[in-house]
Amino acid sequence: MRRWRMITAGLTGIVLGAGLALGGATSASAATAGHWGAFEVSGTARAYTGSVALPGFPETTFTSSSRQAQVISGATTGQGPATPPGAVYGNSRYNTYLNQRPAFDRPDAPAETTYTFAGGTPGAGGWSFVLGDIDADQATISATLANGQPAPIADLGYQGSYNSCSTVSPGGWSCPPDPGGVAPGQDTPTWDPTTGVLIGNTAANDTAGASAWFTPTVSLGTLTITYQQRSGLPVYQTWFANKTSSLSGVARLDGAPLPNTVVTVTAPNGSEYTTTTDDQGAYSFDALTQADGYQVAIATPDNATVQAAPGMVSLRGDVTNADFDFLTPPGTVALTGTVVDTAGTPVADVPVTITDPATGAVLAETVTDGDGSYTASGLPADTAVVASTTGATAVPVTTGADGAATVVAQPLVIQAALSTISGRVTLDGTAPSDAAVVELVQGDQVVATTEADADGTYEFRVLPGDYTVRTAAPVPGADGPTETSVTTTAGGTSTADFPFVTPVPVTVSQAGSVTYTDGTPVGGTTVTARPVDAGSGAVIVVTTNADGSYDLTGLTPGTDYRITVDGTDPQLVTTVATGAAPTPADFVLPLPTVDQPGTVNDADGAPAADVEVVATPTGSGEPVTATTDADGAFDLVGLQPVTEYSVVAGSGAQATDPQVVTTVAAGATPTPLAFVLPAAVVTPTPTPTPTPTPAPAPAPAPAPTVPPAGAGSGGSGVSGPLAFTGAEIAPAAIAAGILVLLGGGLLTFRAARNRRRTEHLQD
């Protein structure tokens, strides 16, 4: 139990850090390591506050007039292992950093962020800060010393400028190309050592990865970064990092382990860290920021003198031999024992006095630790003494011989009513996965330490009095107090619970709508919000409601997002602060169109290719034209949905009768149209009359004779040629008659055939 108390006290001390100024003994297994700061931020635009946590580093807080300050997870962007700071502190991937913007996006409206270090930073070296994405902007850096005086610019410790993109820094982040398609990784900022200005590229182009890092060479009280825009919508990044080493040793009294003794380390900036030696006299501070000038001190046992002690410690690597050796006067020995209640439960923080029963002289005074144990040193050897405490029967004991094993006294049993302090450590109502370490503090001393049971419960048995009970948050950022004050009474029970709650990311929403140009709502369409700066938040995707409305929830406050809807231009929106009402981001889409397919055949039923089809709206609007393909198919594209059109195939004498159709709604499937071209009307070509072949001229006839007397005047009974023509009429008349009959028959036959074809098509 005692060993567990020592180990868990050390772990808690490191977690609680300088703000608690106390720790606990641990094993000396820690080693030199690099760390990246954990940022937290709260507040609203131009009135932000926050903190940066690093192991073994002073409490660090900041204020900022930035228009936007947000903590980024570091999952996609960071300082890779091949960057200069990454080579010192390790890869920053998955460690948070701070994204910030100027107060306004114009050169005359900078934002000022001031970091304050409680007691000052550790000293020269051991920690750094990194500024990234310095391209279309600039940052002016200044600081004050721990004593409040302005720090020289040279003491900011500018280490150099570089680019963090993976193209030039293996293991780094994947950057987009620079303007003009230039490969990323080329841009670096410029440092002016006389003005303290870090400025981006000359053209003020928005590039990626331009960074610089600083390792201050003095103890700083404050650090101020004044950030301003040169072009566009710039953002810059801030990382903090430190490198820690362990400091450990052993305390001995007369060559034997000196347990349960407070060890104090004072950092170069004056911050104090404490722990307690374990049963073997060992102590360890596992993570102190590397620096020169640490001092280690330990409480000197009663009646002992210092034989050896570490001097000023330079902590540039793990130090394992910061040992203490104490000697008691020759012939003196130590005595150990415990204090318990009537049930045998150890009682912490109980004063124990060792006296000489013969004279009543006080030989030693000590106090029990968390396990109820005490040690008294410098006692005379082979001597009868009495151990006593208030409320318990004194215990007589005879010390051992000089050089012999330490004598263990019988337990002091307190009969008086004691107090119980108990409680439970929970996370969201259940015990944390890792056992919680709980400390009991009285004044400025840790008087007891315990590890909560599997269900998160713990208990202390103590004398009545005023105490502080504290523990560490089970997960980073968990909501809930880490300490509480308790006043106990004799026989009373006090409860000190620690109900932690998992932090819920602070988010905001962005509402809007999607409609067509005629005001019709567009339901079921996708709306996407993507942070402009990668890693500034999650990509949120929603679908519009039936009325066209949408609500993007889970967005990071004060962050630039690009909101997109297919079919229209994206919108750049800066989300509001928590609790503020956003301005709706509305999108208007052009009216959708539909198609109308169909086919055209000729009068014989064969597909008609290259036939023009025209759809004319019966109301207002422009006609739409299509041409049939080799299969007689057409597709009228770009028609307004649910609109009446008159559709005609062909033109002139071969134009079809119009078909009136109402187009389907957007997304619906139309019914194809079918057209048949009318038969072509053929005008018959007249058959030419043959030119008769001239007959041979007849021989001259004899002169007419005078008719016989008695012949009638109407004619002659003898036939003869027509008068004056010189041709025979009979052959020509016969030929013409035959031709007329043939032509009439041909026309009659063609007319009958056309009539039968028309009747067939109609059938």
The number of angstroms, rounded, from the C-alpha of 241 to the middle of its chain's C-alpha atoms is 21
- Domain co-membership, 142 together with 59: yes
Which pLDDT score, from 0 to 100, does residue 750 have? 54
Q: Of all residues in the chain, what percent carry a pLDDT higher than 90? A: 52
Instruction: Give the integer Cα–Cα distance in Å for 469 and 463.
Output: 15
pTM value is 0.54
Q: Are the C-beta atoms of 100 and 113 separated by less than 8 Å?
A: yes
Q: Is residue 746 part of a domain?
A: no
Tell me how far apart the terminal alpha carbons of the chain are, to the nearest angstrom: 108
Do 661 and 551 belong together in one domain?
Answer: no
Per-residue pLDDT at 702 exceeds 70: no
**Would 394 be classed as within a structural domain?**
yes
* Amino acid 443: pLDDT: 80
Domain of residue 626: give its range: 594-676
**Separation in Å, CA 262 to CA 252, 367, 693:** 13, 12, 152
Tell me how far apart the 2 most distant CA atoms of the chain are, in Å.
218
Predicted pLDDT of residue 692: 61
Q: In this predicted structure, which of 51-60, 112-121, 720-729 has the lowest mean pLDDT?
A: 720-729
CA-based nearest residue to 274, from 400, 125, 443 = 443
- What is the model's pLDDT at position 119? 87
pLDDT at position 717: 40
CA-wise closest residue to 273 among 261, 265, 283: 265
**Whole-number Cα distances in Å, 57 to 82, 219, 278:** 25, 12, 25
In a shared domain, residues 51 and 154: yes
Residue 214's Cβ-side half-sphere holds a number of Cα atoms within 13 Å equal to 27
Average pLDDT, rounded, for the chain: 84
pLDDT at residue 736 is higher than 60: no
Provide the CATH number for the domain around residue 496.
2.60.40.10
Q: Which of 457, 476, 500 is the last residue of a domain?
A: 500
pLDDT digits (tens, 9 = 90+) for 302-322: 778 899 999 899 999 999 999
Residues 619 and 579 in one domain: no
Could you tell me if residue 754 is inside a domain?
no
Of 168-182, 246-260, 564-578, 700-714, the range with the lowest mean pLDDT is 700-714
More confident residue, 199 or 266: 199
In a domain, 651, yes or no: yes
The confidence score (pLDDT) of residue 694 equals 59
Yes or no: say if 644 and 617 are a contact pair by the CB < 8 Å rule.
Answer: yes
User: Domain check: are 214 and 348 in the same one?
Assistant: no
With vertex at residue 447, the alpha carbon angle to CA 444 and CA 450, rounded to the nearest 5 degrees, is 125
Task: Provide the 10 A C-beta neighbour count for residue 419.
Answer: 21
Residue 757, pLDDT above cutoff 50 = no
The Cα–Cα gap between 472 and 478 comes to 10
How much is the pLDDT for 73?
Answer: 84
Answer yes or no: do 520 and 584 share one domain. Answer: yes
pLDDT at 721 over 60: no
Q: What are 401-412's pLDDT values in tens digits?
A: 887 888 999 999
| pLDDT beyond 70 at 324 | yes
Q: For residues 172-209, b (16+ Cβ closer than 10 Å) or e, as one string? A: bbebeebeeeeebbbbbbebeeeebbbbbbeebbbbbb
Whether the per-residue pLDDT at 336 is higher than 80: the answer is yes
Total tally of structural domains belonging to the chain = 5
What average pLDDT does the segment 617-636 reach?
A: 93
Q: For residue range 547-598, what is the model confidence (pLDDT) as tens digits? A: 999 999 888 887 889 999 998 999 999 888 766 778 899 999 988 889 999 9
* 498-518 average pLDDT score: 86
Do 153 and 232 lie in a common domain? yes
The pLDDT assigned to 726 comes to 37
Residue 331 has pLDDT above 50, yes or no: yes
pLDDT tops 70 at residue 645:
yes
* 448 within some domain: yes
* pLDDT for position 698: 55
Residue 708's pLDDT band, with cuts at 50, 70 and 90, is very low
User: Is 17 domain-assigned?
Assistant: no
Domain end call among 219, 243, 267:
243
Same-domain check for residues 606 and 585: no
- Give the end of a domain, one of 500, 519, 542: 500
Q: Which of 37-46, 338-347, 677-686 has the lowest mean pLDDT?
A: 677-686
Same domain for 77 and 117?
Answer: yes
Q: What is the pLDDT of residues 470-494, one digit of tens each?
A: 998 887 668 889 999 999 988 889 9
* 649: CATH: 2.60.40.1120
Q: Is residue 286 pLDDT above 90, yes or no?
A: no
> With 90 as the cut, is the pLDDT of residue 445 above it?
no
Do 218 and 350 lie in one domain? The reply is no
Judge whether 726 lies within some domain.
Answer: no
The 3-class secondary structure across 635-674, one letter per residue, is: EEEEECCCCEEEEEECCHHHCCCCEEEECCCCCCCCCCEE
* DSSP classification of residue 700: P
Same domain assignment for residues 87 and 179:
yes
- pLDDT attached to residue 682: 65
Q: Is residue 634 part of a domain?
A: yes
128-132, 555-559, 670-674: least confidently modelled range: 555-559
410 shares its domain with 345: yes
